[in-house]
Amino acid sequence: MAKFKINLIPGEERSRLDLSLWAKRLKTLAVSLLAVFTGLSGLVFLQYFRLRNDTETVNAKIIQAEKSILGLQLREQDLSKLKNRLQLAQKIMGLRRGNVEILKKFDELSSKTIIFETVESKGKGELSLMVTSPDLLGLNQFMTEISRPEFTQNFDKLEVSSVSRSEDGDYSFILDALKKTVIKETEK
């Protein structure tokens, strides 16, 4: 059986209805696209905030790691200083009596900022010291003290050489000392 379609709507009205149907479909498509883009932009913002939090966490971990590295570097420097002091103590233990007396005289004149890094015995009554100071004032006081006539009269030679400043800002120099009694003993 054949179906018959009877359309009682006039042609103008029918074309207007077809346009409104097309407009409804277009409107539905636009709303659907708007919903999809809104959802995608929401996901983009969520991803942005998640990555931002991740970078903040990573930056915090980096800062914490740098602090621990700095702490370890400071500990390493302290251990290096202790090692140098131990080596210095071992060298002092091996010095002859006359050289120990020379070292004691220098130690009495030195302030707390003066550090004797190395001690080298060149013979009886002859000593070479590497002296370090973190500040110029302490170094200046030490140099003034060892330059006094009442101190220099006990030595035939007091010679300062290799004055330098390290990367840390410490001042250092080598001090060679020769006691006068040694010369008198060798002249006899």
Measured distance CA(29)–CA(13) in Å, rounded: 24
What pLDDT shows up at residue 71? 94
What's the average model confidence in pLDDT over 100-110?
77
Domain that holds residue 152: 96-187
Q: Tell me which of 73-87, 106-120, 164-178 is least confident.
A: 106-120
What pLDDT shows up at residue 123? 72
- In a shared domain, residues 102 and 77: no
What pLDDT shows up at residue 94? 62
Among residues 60, 76, 93, which one ends one of the domains?
Answer: 93
What pLDDT shows up at residue 1? 62
- In a shared domain, residues 124 and 72: no
Q: Tell me which of 26-35, 104-113, 149-158 is least confident.
A: 104-113
What pLDDT shows up at residue 153? 86
- In a shared domain, residues 81 and 151: no
| CATH code (residue 181) | 3.30.1360.100
What pLDDT shows up at residue 16? 73
What's the average model confidence in pLDDT over 37-66?
91
Strand order in the sheet with 155-165: 115-123, 126-133, 171-179, 155-165
Measured distance CA(127)–CA(106) in Å, rounded: 11
What pLDDT shows up at residue 161? 86
What's the average model confidence in pLDDT over 102-125?
78
What's the average model confidence in pLDDT over 72-101?
77
Are 154 and 173 contacting, i.e. CB atoms less than 8 angstroms apart? no
pTM: 0.47
pLDDT reading at 181 higher than 70:
no
Among residues 93, 127, 148, which one ends one of the domains?
Answer: 93
